[in-house]
Amino acid sequence: MSSNIDEIKNKKKEWEEKVLKPALDGFGYTEPPFRTYTPTDIEDFDFLDKVGFPGQYPFTAGIYAVQARMPAPRVGRPRASRRSQSQAIEQRRAAGYSGYGTAEDTRDYYKEMISRGGRGGPNLAFDLPTQCGYDSDNPIVRGDVGKTGVTVDTLRDFEIIYEPYQGELDLDRIASNFTINAPANIFIAMYCALADKRGIPFERLRATPQNDILKEFIARGTYIFPPKPSMRMFRDSMVFLTKYCPRVNLTSIGGYHIRGAGATREQDLAFSLVILAAYLQEGINAGLDIDTFAPRFTINQFGGSMELFKEVAFHRASRRMWAKVIKEKFGAKNERSMLLRGGGLAAHIGCENTTIQRPINNLTRSVIGAVASALSGGGGVAYPPYDEPIRMGGSLEASQLSSDASRIIQYEAKLGEVRDPLAGSYYIESLTNEIEEAAWKEFEKIEAMGGAVAAIENGYMWREIARSAHDRQRRLETGEDLMVGVNCFVSENELELEIKRLVPDTYDPVRREQAEEKQIRDLTELKKQRDNRAVAQLLSELKEKAKKEDENLIPHFIECAKAYVSEQEMCDVLREVFGEYQPVSL
């Protein structure tokens, strides 16, 4: 092999001098506008060590040997029939990300989706006051209630949202997702309280709380408490769920929020993995065996970009690194612990790469992302919808186009027929190694600081993301990076295209406008009718329990939820005991 490599090197040098250089001179180039990869770029490539087979360590080629595909479509006109096996499996998955205004508004949306054949459970988007631990009647959140998701103040809101989910769609027959972080334990408790009131054992519940608080400190910003008490909250959920709710995932780590905040892909991967390591260590510190809880860790999604090949390589590297962290750093023996579960999109373009200018171009962008998805182990999903920057992908027209694009990728282009099709490519293998090496370097730098919590407290990760975000914006403003219709191809001769809206908005604008006042009225009435003496007693007990570091608060949160103690009432007690996080300055 070495002699062959030497021969290739010599031939490449000869090609550069006799063929490439004259061609560059002819075009007036000093440097080639492209790179050529050969076996010399992966001299020590070992297929079994670096790639392997799908479903086997190091999982570069994919975490499963066989992966579920889209169900085969029925050809011709639809007709009534019994649900297929694939539909029965789908029943265990949450539906699309959604949440509107009041609990009643969101309930009615789910009723409509069920009437159209939807079988997935709620995948709840909460408004910002809810995410930050404030009730809708707090004057400081006036104007934000119900605007970016559904408002949930108490268990009563959960009861309303889940009214459509009974019988064959009861809590033990669906899966739910909760995009909530700082107060995640309170929402886990609400779900458990709802199950308890319906007589459903906790061990039969399936759900995924995002529960990724460390990412909030460096990206989204919906934190409440400082990092260390926040990690105590994470420990509580990990211990409680592992013991009582074995089918509920513990976290859904959201690297794409980190990339969306401005991080590079290498930072996205390194910061996500160092956060993973912090959570895993918290479980070890709590006395849990790694193989009892690591299989319930998931990835919400890593970030994305328009650079197709780099995103394919990124996701190959991410599966390999995730497995190595869990096996080599934490000593896992069960290969299920090493699977980078979730993140079904695999590669995608990232919502931040869609544009409000000429938004229909976003469909082209998402199709490129769907190709990258199929080539990197995902389902070839065209995401996000083209109107993401306008109405958060809310129109049914945009959803239809995205769904059809994904179907074309799957059924017509048939990109899902080969697993890891770019394996062995000199370019892809070299790029996968480069991304992994850069991410390991950053990972080890943060671990040397003391890990993710230390790098949050000293501001390192936040500052690095801010620096990368500034650099990206500078490249756009100088034209170093190009976005069609934004900083190039913007002359008066270009056409602005629109798609005619045929279907009413998913969320009635009138109901949206009325949501805040209705929610405040309903909460005021509930607080009058509940047993406020019991509420005061429960909050007093919560304060004393919160002062005890070893006390798991979730059982008490469940009791608070049953008494209709509000989210902010619980969070305010914790604010008093834990304090509130004050971000470090840049």
What are the tens digits of pLDDT across the range 436-492? 999 999 999 999 999 999 999 999 999 999 999 999 999 999 999 999 999 999 999
Question: What is the pLDDT, as a whole number, of residue 92?
Answer: 63
pLDDT at 525 over 50: yes
pLDDT on residue 91: 43
In a domain, 176, yes or no: no
d(CA 436, CA 451): 19
Provide the phi-psi class of 372: left if phi over 0, else alpha when psi is between -120 and 50, else beta: alpha
pLDDT at 538 over 70: yes
Higher pLDDT, 135 or 44: 135
18 part of a folded domain: yes
Total domains in the chain come to 1
Tell me the torsion sign for CA atoms 17, 23, 28, 30. negative
Q: Is residue 350 part of a domain?
A: no
Is residue 244 included in any domain, yes or no?
no
Supply the range of the domain harboring residue 22: 2-36
First to last CA, the chain: 51
Q: In this predicted model, what pLDDT tens digit does every residue of 51-76 receive, in sequence order?
A: 999 999 999 999 988 876 666 676 66
* Cα–Cα distance measured from residue 509 to residue 391, given in angstroms and rounded to the nearest whole number: 12
The number of angstroms, rounded, from the C-alpha of 111 to the middle of its chain's C-alpha atoms is 25
CA 283/CA 233 separation, integer angstroms: 12
The tokens for 338 are 């090493």
Place of tokens 């319906």: 198
Mean pLDDT in residue range 514-518: 96
User: 3-state DSSP helix/strand/coil percent for the chain, to nearest 5?
Assistant: 55, 5, 40
Give 348-365 pLDDT, tens digit per residue: 999 999 999 999 999 999
pLDDT at 339 over 60: yes
Residue ranges in 132-226 assigned as alpha helix (H): 155-161, 184-197, 213-218
Among the listed residues 358, 362, 413, the one whose alpha carbon sits nearest the alpha carbon of residue 383: 362
Let me know if residue 327 belongs to a domain.
no
Is residue 318's pLDDT more than 90? yes
> How large is the C-alpha radius of gyration of the chain?
25
For position 393, what pLDDT does the model report? 57
391 in a structural domain: no
Confidence band for 370, pLDDT divided at 50, 70 and 90:
very high
- Tens digits of residue pLDDT in 224-243: 999 999 999 999 999 999 99
pLDDT digits (tens, 9 = 90+) for 162-219: 999 999 999 999 999 999 999 999 999 999 999 999 999 999 999 999 999 999 999 9
pLDDT digits (tens, 9 = 90+) for 23-55: 999 999 989 988 889 999 998 899 999 999 999
Domain assignment of residue 7, yes or no: yes
Category of 392 on φ-ψ map: left (φ > 0), alpha (ψ -120 to 50) or beta? left
Residue 247 included in any domain: no
Exposure class string for 164-186: b at 16+ Cβ within 10 A, else e: bbeeebbbbbbbbbbbbbbbbbb
Q: What is the pTM (predicted TM-score) of this model?
A: 0.92
pLDDT tens profile 84-124: 444 444 446 667 888 999 999 999 999 998 998 888 999 99
Tell which wins on pLDDT, 569 or 395. Answer: 569
